[in-house]
Structure formats: C-alpha cells, structure tokens
Structure 1
Amino acid sequence: MNKQSLIIDCDPGVDDAVALMLAFGSPALDLLAITTVGGNAPLAKTTRNARMLRQIAGRQDVPVHAGADRPLRRKPAGAGEFHGEEGLGFMTPFAPTRPVADGHGVDAIISAVNARPPGTVALALLGPLTNLALALRREPLLARRLGAVAVMGGARSEGGNITPSAEFNIWADPEAADEVLRSECRVTMFSLDVTHQVRATEARIAAIGAVGTPKGDVAAAMMTFSQTVEREIVGWPSLSGWGPPVHDPCPVAWVLKPELFTLKPCKIAVETQSELTRGHTSVEFRVDAATAPHLWAATVDADGVFDLIVKAAG
C-alpha cells in the first residue's frame, strides 16, 4: 500500500481528538508528526492532550512537537467553553508516558517536508495557522515543496462561530491565515459551510461507541460532550436526527478519501484590519478554475466521513 505522508497541526480540542483518532487508526496514512499550537486551549494543554490521545490510541511511534504558544500579533484566545477547562471535554487528564519530541513544531514541519520528495507530504491544519505561517517565514520555498494543505477554518454562507462572520481558527490568528493564503501553498479550506453538514447524531455516536475500542470510546465521548455544549451554549434543540457539527475530522477525511467532498475553485482573503470583521474570510468564486489559488469545500458525504471514523476506531 502506498501511504500518504501527513503532518497534523492541531490544538486538541474535542473535535481535534476525533480527527486524531481517525488519523491514528487509518493505515493508509504515514503519520509523520503531530505539531501543536495554542488555540482551543493553551499550548501546554494542547501538547499534553495530543500526547494523551496518542497513548490511548497506541501510537507512541508518532512524535508530538510543541509549536507556537501565541498568535503572530494578537493575544492568545481560547475556547474552553466549547472544549472544557482541560480541552478534552469530560476526560480526566493524566501524565502521558512518552515526552514531547525534541525540536519546535515549526522546525519539525520544515524538516519532515524537506526530507521527502516535493509534493508528497500533506499538512492538515486543525487549529490557528500560526505554525505554518512561521514555517513559511523561515523557509519560503516550503510552499512549493508541500503537498496538499488542508485547513479547517473560515466561513461564508453559514456565518461565523466567534463573530457573525468569523470562524475561530481564522479569528484567533488572522495574520497567520492571511500569510498562508497569500503564499504558494495549495490550500483546500474546510469551513463551517461544509463542517456544519457533518453532524454527530445519536445514531452516529452510538455506532462509533459500539466498536468497543479505546479509539472509538474517545471519539464517542468527545461527540457526546459536544452535544451537551451545543445545547447549553448555542441552544440547539433536542430533536431527533439533530447533532452538533464535527469540524476537524473533515480535512483528515479528505486526505483519506477526497471523493467524499465537492470542491470549488476560489480565491480566499482574510480580514486583518477591522476588529468588527476580524478573521472574516472573503471567498471569491469568480475565478479561472485553471489558475485559482485555493479550493473551498462545498458539500460532503457525511455518512462517508462517519464510516471512516468507525473503521479507524476498530
């Protein structure tokens, strides 16, 4: 089997946890590294959480590198109300047995990409884009060597989840997102427009939990926590077939099975000046498809995504 080399840059985070369980359990991926960033929780917690999840999944072979602890220019922001005080919902923290890998997350990204043929290493960014922006500053040619860059971030038709027009990952470090989108990276963006189509219904959670493995138990528990939060904070109704959106598995699912998504060529820009619209993603679809710099995920086979999660949990 020809495996896809992948680096996951993340800020676990309950939906990051589901994405990591998907990646850890997918033999089609050559998971080169997990790099962490401050975002949903402070860097110390996101790094510990990634190590905890790695241990639960039995994937101690994958190095975890700590990255940027703050945005390029902004004060650190958090999302503890959506992820719990420790970042992993109801899970009780523990001290992982394997330490953080030597080397900063930015250096780990650069080294892994430069050590392999151009275009062969994909990067899934599930938190603020700070680490990639710093890597591009340090190694401008990295953009040409990277393969697909799959970003969970942005919003258009669905509106934002932090402000009326901004999604958290982009809002948390808009300057980093701006620099990445202005680079030559081949960015495919999985915004709230598509992640809101991927809902953790009771039936889907039950199917994952029924696998009866640590990976499945963690993924199901994270989605159950999201159900509680979305009902209490956002006010989603308790309706049959309803479920909270599961954002971060989408980029990993696309790397694994791109046919699950439809993509639209576009050009994406990020607002960095106005506090009113900070982090807004301006998406222009009136572009030449042959030369468009970015792709925007428009629709998804949600059942297909959950099938991948169930399979990876086994």
Structure 2
Amino acid sequence: MHENSRPVSHQPGRPPRAVLLDCDTGIDDALALLYLCSQPQVELVAVTSTPGNVDADQVAANNLALLELCGRPEVPVAIGARKPLEVPLVTTPETHGPQGIGYAELPAARRAPEARDAVDLWVEAARARPGELTALITAPLTNFALALRAEPRLPELLAGVVIMGGAYYYQGNTTPTAEWNTHVDPHAAAEVFAAFAGQPEDRLPTVCALETTERIEMHPGHLAALAEAAGCSGPELVLPDQPEGQRSTASNRLVRHVSDMLRFYFEFHRHYDQGYVAHIHDYFAATVAAGTARYAARTAAVHVETRAPRLMGTTVADYRGLWEEPPSARIVSANHPDEAFAELVASLGALARLVG
C-alpha cells in the first residue's frame, strides 16, 4: 500500500505543481477549480471542458467565469468532445442546476474559449513539457481518451494523472453499481485504464472513487467557517429550515457565489435522503493533484463494464491479481476529511480575501 504521508500545511514552501484540468463544471468541479486557483504553488496550464454535468459550451462558460472571478484570465480554456465516445450524452440539471453551478449567477466572462481543440492543447502541452504536468480529470474521461488516441505516449509524458471516478465494491450514485463520471462515458474510461495497464506504479493514474470522495461531506458549518475565514461582515448561514433557493447576501462575492452553489447542492442531497450535506468529490481529487492531501492507495487492474445494460459504467478492481492482468490504477483507499476541510476553509478563505 502506498502512503502519501506529507502532512497538510498552510505554510509556504509547498512543491510547485503544473496542472492540466479537465472538468464538466459542476458544483464540485467549481470548488476544485477555485481551490487550484487558491494555491500559489499550482500553475494552471489549461482548463479543458468535457460534457457531463452540463453540455460542453456551458462547461466552458462556467470555467471562464470562475477563472475571471479568481483574477486568472491568462489560463486557457478549451472545448474538446461534445458527446461521449459511443453513447448519448446525459446531463444532470437536477444535481447541479440548469447551468451547472446551482443558484449562483456568475457574470459572463469577457473572453471566449480557445479556438483550438482541448485534445490538441493537452497533447501540445505534454510534448512541450515532458515529465512536468499533472493531469486532473474530474469529468467523464472522453477528452482524455481522445488525447491518448492522439498521443499514446501520454502515460510517459505526464508527471502524474488523478481521476475522480468509479466506485469499487461500493454503491454507485447513478445506478446501483455505477458512479456518474464513468457512467456518462464508460467506453472512454475503459480505453484510459487499458492505456495505463502495465505502466510502472508511479505512472498509474491515482483514482479518487466514491468510497473515499463521499467521505468529503460538506455541512453548513464548513460554509460558515469559510465566510469567517474570508472576513465576511456577518455570518453565512445556509440552513435546512430556510426557504429553498434563498440567495446569499455575503459581503464577499466569492463566498456569495460559493454559498449559492452549495445551497443547491445541499438541497439536492436532502431530496435524495442523504441529509442537508454536499459530497464535494472533485475538491478532494484537486487536493491530491495539488499534492496537499494525505491518502493511501492500492494498485489494481480495473475493468469498466461497457456491454451489460444494467451494469454500464460499473468499475471493478482486481486487487488480488486473480485476473493475472497488470495493474492499471492506484485507487485511493483512505483519506482524511477533517484535514481536507481545514485546507479548504483556509485556502479558499485566503483567495476570497484577495479577490473581494
């Protein structure tokens, strides 16, 4: 079992990371992007947009608006695929809202996405900076599968890969056995794991699956702590007995937008009998990519089901080598939610103070 044992710290001196982010923004994707923008040691090389929670154009619009909110207009935003490899696109407005960001109403960005395709951008960046870039995918794996088709050497060219997706011997959140990202494009996921099979352990993708990302369970108290860390003039109370759809009046605009996103997400989880909470899966994956999380991981050969209708997108991990196939992933097996939320509050709070 691998253990990433570097403790979480809010002090300067964290090793630099250059990150390529592919997302389908999405409330938890938005928090992941905001977190990466809050980390001074993280260089965001590009943010690419995959259809999933919403369509690709809306994903790109969300990404551009969030980067502008953070004062990061220099980060390229590109669109790649507009649908999964082989199955029809299914989006999830009931989970993330019609625009993907809950009740938040972000000002439209003053720039458009890059003219070049997201896949070309990733391949060019990886070739130009071999061994330097960490890929973080918090979306269906469509764009990444297409990038691997275009450049099969990506497993060797990238410094690391972090994927949010899958559920291993754990209840799915889309079907009884399948997680959302993998279910949206199971064929892409199958291609990605096949491409990494047999790579050295340190080059295998680190997979943040539901059994650990659902432990990153946000409560209204975390949002109140974020507002306090951001220096808001009053408490930020998002509570279950308040009217659904109530909008934030926080004095800090970043906190206001985050609060409006999360209220929608809290309400969604309550509608599905999970309580007034929010599972912020993609934020945890971002901390792994940024090198700020402690976690343990186990290697396994991964199978993604692409044929059986009721099991489409189901992921199975062979931890014991019973298939006699080489490992294709390192699946996170343990994490530390209290540390993750202390990190989120401190880091986003500092960013909120900076952008106002």
Interval containing the TM-score (normalised by the shorter chain): over 0.9
SS in 2 for 1:131: helix
Give 1:312's aligned residue: 347
Q: Note the alpha carbon deviations across 1:202-249, whole angstroms, 9 max, x for none.
A: 2112112221454444334322221111112x12235xxxx2211111
Q: Note the alpha carbon deviations across 1:248-267, whole angstroms, 9 max, x for none.
A: 11111012235521111212
SS in 1 for 2:191: helix
Give 2:296's aligned residue: 262
Equivalent pairs counted in the alignment come to 306
Give 1:56's aligned residue: 69
Whether contact under 8 Å (1:125, 1:151) holds in the other structure is yes
Whether contact under 8 Å (1:11, 1:43) holds in the other structure is yes
- 2:280 counterpart of 1:237: no
- 2:104 counterpart of 1:65: no
Structure with the greater alpha carbon radius of gyration: 2
Give 1:105's aligned residue: 118
Whether contact under 8 Å (1:23, 1:312) holds in the other structure is no
Give the CA deviation at 1:159: 0.9
SS in 1 for 2:269: helix
- State how far apart, in whole Å, the 2-side matches of 1:266 and 1:214 are: 43
- State how far apart, in whole Å, the 1-side matches of 2:264 and 2:275 are: 15
- State how far apart, in whole Å, the 1-side matches of 2:293 and 2:100 are: 31
- State how far apart, in whole Å, the 2-side matches of 1:209 and 1:39 are: 30
- State how far apart, in whole Å, the 2-side matches of 1:21 and 1:72 are: 29
Give the CA deviation at 1:188: 1.0
SS in 1 for 2:112: coil
Instruction: Check 1:224–1:47 CA distance in 2 against 1; reply closer, same or farther (3 A cut).
Output: same
Whether contact under 8 Å (1:21, 1:219) holds in the other structure is no
Aligned runs of 1:86-105 on 2, under 5 Å? Answer: 86-105=99-118
Give 1:182's aligned residue: 194
The one-letter code of the counterpart of 1:18 is: L
Q: Note the alpha carbon deviations across 1:41-61, whole angstroms, 9 max, x for none.
A: 011111101111111111112
Q: Note the alpha carbon deviations across 1:276-299, whole angstroms, 9 max, x for none.
A: 1000001111149xx633111112
- State how far apart, in whole Å, the 2-side matches of 1:219 and 1:92 are: 10
Q: Note the alpha carbon deviations across 1:146-177, whole angstroms, 9 max, x for none.
A: 12111110012331111000001000000000
Say which is worse superposed, 176-185 or 40-49, in terms of deviation.
176-185
- 2:277 counterpart of 1:250: no
Whether contact under 8 Å (1:15, 1:222) holds in the other structure is no
- 2:311 counterpart of 1:277: yes
Structure 1 residue runs of 4+, over 3 Å off? 212-221
Give 2:221's aligned residue: 203
Give 1:121's aligned residue: 133
The one-letter code of the counterpart of 2:173 is: N
Give the CA deviation at 1:268: 1.2
- 2:144 counterpart of 1:132: yes
TM-score, length of structure 2 as denominator length: 0.82
Whether contact under 8 Å (2:105, 2:257) holds in the other structure is no
Give 2:10's aligned residue: none
- 2:209 counterpart of 1:191: yes
Give the CA deviation at 1:39: 0.5
Whether contact under 8 Å (1:16, 1:248) holds in the other structure is yes
Give 1:25's aligned residue: 38
Say which is worse superposed, 265-274 or 33-42, in terms of deviation.
265-274
Q: Note the alpha carbon deviations across 1:75-103, whole angstroms, 9 max, x for none.
A: 11101110001111001254211221231
- State how far apart, in whole Å, the 2-side matches of 1:276 and 1:220 are: 36
Percent identity of equivalent pairs: 29
The one-letter code of the counterpart of 2:58 is: K
- State how far apart, in whole Å, the 2-side matches of 1:187 and 1:160 are: 20
- State how far apart, in whole Å, the 2-side matches of 1:37 and 1:186 are: 22
Whether contact under 8 Å (2:25, 2:53) holds in the other structure is yes
- State how far apart, in whole Å, the 2-side matches of 1:173 and 1:78 are: 12
Structure 1 unaligned segments of length 5 or more: list them: none
Give 1:13's aligned residue: 26
Instruction: Check 1:311–1:102 CA distance in 2 against 1; reply closer, same or farther (3 A cut).
Output: farther
Whether contact under 8 Å (1:216, 1:310) holds in the other structure is no
Whether contact under 8 Å (1:33, 1:64) holds in the other structure is yes
Q: Over aligned residues, Cα RMSD in angstroms? A: 1.7
TM-score, length of structure 1 as denominator length: 0.93
Q: Which of these residues, 271, 289, 300, is aligned with residue 335 of structure 2? A: 300
Structure 2 unaligned segments of length 5 or more: list them: 1-12, 197-202, 233-251, 351-356
Give the CA deviation at 1:308: 2.3
The one-letter code of the counterpart of 1:261 is: Y
